[in-house]
């Protein structure tokens, strides 16, 4: 069991480009959560997905950010037209069920230059 896999570990994008962050949950986990950790700040919830469905996106910025968790393949967090303020560590967690423990990925560190 490889755990929660996030890639890339580090991503550098120029302002205005698109960033795609991938998260492969643990085997058997159908719940995926994305969190953002801004520099010098704590973790903040962004979005909660189950297979093919967005359950709660109350933490997602209204523009430029989107997330999906298709039937096949990893969950994708997509940031369009990145700005410097998007520079942060983005963590993904997965669980078998919301009542069970969560496993975190190692994160993707996005730097916008």
Partner 1 sequence: KNEVEQSPQNLTAQEGEFITINCSYSVGISALHWLQQHPGGGIVSLFMLSSGKKKHGRLIATINIQEKHSSLHITASHPRDSAVYICAVTVHTGNQFYFGTGTSLTVIP
Q: Which residues bind partner 1 (CB under 8 A)?
A: 31, 33, 35, 41-45, 48, 55-56, 58-59, 91, 93, 98-99, 101-107
Any residues with CB less than 8 A from the CB of 102 and at least 6 apart, and which? 33, 93, 94, 95
1 vs 72 by CB, closer to partner 1: 1
45 class by beta-carbon count within 10 Å (0-12 exposed, 13-18 middle, 19+ buried) = middle
Q: Least Å distance between CB 46 and partner 1?
A: 9
Q: Least Å distance between CB 84 and partner 1?
A: 20
Task: Please state the φ and ψ torsions of residue 35, each to the nearest 5 degrees.
Answer: -135, 155
18 vs 52 by CB, closer to partner 1: 52
Q: Least Å distance between CB 50 and partner 1?
A: 9
What the block records as the tokens of 91 is 């963590």
């Amino acid at each position: 069991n490889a755990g929660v896999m996030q890639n890339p570990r580090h991503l550098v994008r120029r302002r205005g480009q698109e960033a795609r962050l991938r998260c492969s949950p643990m085997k058997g986990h159908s719940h995926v959560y994305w969190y953002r950790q801004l520099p010098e700040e704590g973790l903040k919830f962004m979005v909660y997905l189950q297979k093919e469905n967005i359950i709660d996106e109350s933490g997602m910025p209204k523009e430029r950010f989107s997330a999906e968790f298709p039937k096949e393949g990893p969950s994708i967090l997509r940031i369009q037209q990145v700005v410097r303020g998007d520079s942060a560590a983005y963590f993904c967690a997965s669980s078998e069920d919301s009542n069970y423990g969560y496993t975190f990925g190692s994160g993707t560190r996005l730097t916008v230059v």
